[in-house]
Every structure is written in structure tokens, then in C-alpha cells.
Amino acid sequence: MLTLKKFEEAYEKVQEVIIPTKLMKSDYLSEQTGNQVYLKPENMQLTGAYKIRGAYYKISTLSQEEKEKGLITASAGNHAQGVAYAARANHVPATIVMPTTTPLMKVNRTKALGAEVILKGDVFDEASEYAIELGKKRGMTFVHPFDDLDVATGQGSIAMEIFKELPTVDIILVPIGGGGLATGVSALAKFLNPNIKVIGVEPSGAACMKASLEAGKVTTVENVSTIADGTAVKTPGKKIFPYIQQNIDDIITIDDEELIVAFLDLIENHKMLAENSGLLTVAALKHLKVTGKKVVSIISGGNMDVITLASLVQHGLIVRDRIFTVSVFLPDKPGELTRVSKIIAQSQGNIIRLEHNQFVSINRNSKVELTITMEAFGTEHKEKIIKALKDTGYQPKLQNAKGGVF
């Protein structure tokens, strides 16, 4: 069972390896939401995520015989690094099975920590099935990333730190994949203050916990599709589910598009890099139906590969109307391109790409198509540029730039 005594023991144990992640007051998010918003930046943790807490505490509870057998686990990345680091600190061999879709950065970092890495399956659940089978064949000790009460107890140390810094916290927002973090944080939070609200946040494309709570039993969702790879889980933990039922007050689901906006909010206003799963609780702030409360958003991790980072920046700018694409038709004669460019320049738009299609019509004197991708300050400025083009006789047509503009 999860007990206050075990949580206190775990809190003391993890202090041996964790980096203190002090709460950060976010004036920007507070103004946006009408609450006092604090960020718990576990993305700054030693392995880039909170997972080192549960892994390290779990290993401390194992017998010498269990350690000597070697450890095996499955992970989309963060638990992998946590187990690899904790295993190395305890001089224990570790094997990690990761989905084939795991970002390369997470794979390489896990290998760098001394673990054997095996890529198997498209999602966590498939990797986990393989890891369990392989562990049985090799006689290894399986360390589940979330459906383990010791692991959940280690993750709960986050709640202890939150209460030490902000005893009067009203709401804690916690990401949910399989449910280990939410189990530990919510159970300890309720021990310390039964009146606190702990709200789980999971991606809409992998809302297995919401489905399970609504069904009253552990439920598997058929398909998982989300950019939040760290929470892309089909089935939540069975051992921890009763604690989720008892201690989680609500579930908020987040669409991928909301994570893009949350990414820009953190990068531009806090110079903070969080992975997509870590952004869930930031996106959830706008879904809260209360004001004037002290809210803590747990930023669970920051392990993001460069390709994903570049994609989020690009799509974020598009969503915010800071980059947009229009096409206009004009006669194919000298000076027309200069005329269009001048209109945009006078409106303070900045052109970043041009495409001149002379073959849109067999009569080039009649029209050619000019497709323009440009920067703007936001929606109001974008509309100003479009109006300027219309006022000078052009009929700009907005293009769907989601396929990429760089």
C-alpha cells in the first residue's frame, strides 16, 4: 500500500540523486488564466525528467539477488534514462526496450548511461510486452515504468517538494500516461491536504485513463495518436488504478494543437524547453474553470529531439499567425513583383519565401500566380497586410501552410 511513511522514506532517498527543481512563478500564465500559476520544472532534472525519482527509489527496495539478475524495463524514453542512471549508480546491469518511434536523442542518452537498448514495437505497450517476455527468458528483474507502487512512491516525492515550498497550493496539474506519476503525486497530496484538487492531464489521442475512469475499470484504447510520445499509452496500470480512482479529482484531455501553443508560451516567456508530454499541464491551465487559485503545473520532462523542436517552432508560428502564406494573381510583366513587394513592405510584412508560377494559365499576359510566405506580428497584423493587398486590387487567397514553410 501507499503510505505516508513510505513517501517520507522515498523523499529522503531520492535526494541522493535529484537536482532541486524549485517552483517558478509564471506572471505570464497567471495573467492569462486569472490564477497564481507556478511551474514545477522537472524538465531540469538530471536525466531531463522526473522518472529518475521512481527508478532510483525502486532499485533501493530490491534485494541483492534481484539486483544481480539485472534490470529490464520498457520505456518511451524518460523512464529508460531514469532506470539506466539509477542502475549505473547501483552498479547493476540494465536492458531497456524502447518503441521504434522513440526520438533518437532519448535512445542515445539511454545508451550513454550504460544500458543495453533494444528497439521494438510502435508504441509503449508493444515494447512492454516484449520486455516482459525477454525478462522472463533472461531471468531479469522487470521494473515497470508506472504500474508499480514503489515506482509511484518515488514519483510522489514531487508532491512533498511542492508542499514544502507552497503549503497553501490549491490545485496540482499532473500529466498522465500510464498513471504512475499521477498516482504518487495525488496520493501524497491527499495525505498532506485532503482538500487539495489534483487534476490529471492526458493527450486526447491517448486518453486511456479518462476512458478507464468513465468505465470504472482499466480500459484499453484501440488507437494511440499523439505528439506527446511520453504519454502515448494504450492501457493504464492495473495496480495503481484504484489510487487514481480515489485521489484524482478530474481529467483534462488536450489536443495536439494546444501543445504547440503551450510550447511557444514556455519558450518565449520563460526560455524553457519542455517535451510535448511535459506541456500537457501548461495547456490545461486554460481549461480550468476557477480563478484566484494557487495552481502548480508539473512540467514532467524536457527531452525533445532537434527535429521535433524545429517542427514545433514552425507550426507554433503558423498557429499564432506569425507566419502565413497567401497567393495572388498578377499579369506577367515587369514591375508587378516589385509592386506587390512594396505593398507588403509598407505594411511591415517580411517576405521569407516567394514562388512564381507562370504556368497557372496558358495566357501568361492574363495572369501568373505568386505565392508569398511572410512573417507578421500576429493575427491583427496579418489581417492588415491582407487588407492592404485587397485595397490595391489584388485578391489574396490564404494557403494552408501546415505542411511546412521553411
What are the residue numbers of the active site?
51, 300
CA-only gyration radius of the chain, Å: 25
The one-letter amino acid at 25: K
Residues 6+ apart with CB under 8 A from 295: 33, 35, 36, 37, 38, 169, 170, 171, 172, 173, 285, 288
Query: Which of 371, 377, 382 is CA-nearest to residue 340?
Result: 371
Cα–Cα distance, 54 to 187 (Å, whole number):
14
Residue 385 host element (H or E): helix 379-391
Phi/psi for 96 (5° steps) reads -120, 125
Helix (H/G/I), strand (E/B), else coil: 401:
coil
Note whether 292 and 264 are within 8 A (CB): no
Q: How do 36-41 and 24-25 pair as beta strands?
A: antiparallel
Instruction: Count CB atoms within 10 A of the CB of residue 164.
Output: 11
Gap between the Cα atoms of 89 and 83, Å rounded: 10
How far is the C-alpha of 206 from the C-alpha of 179, rounded, in Å? 12
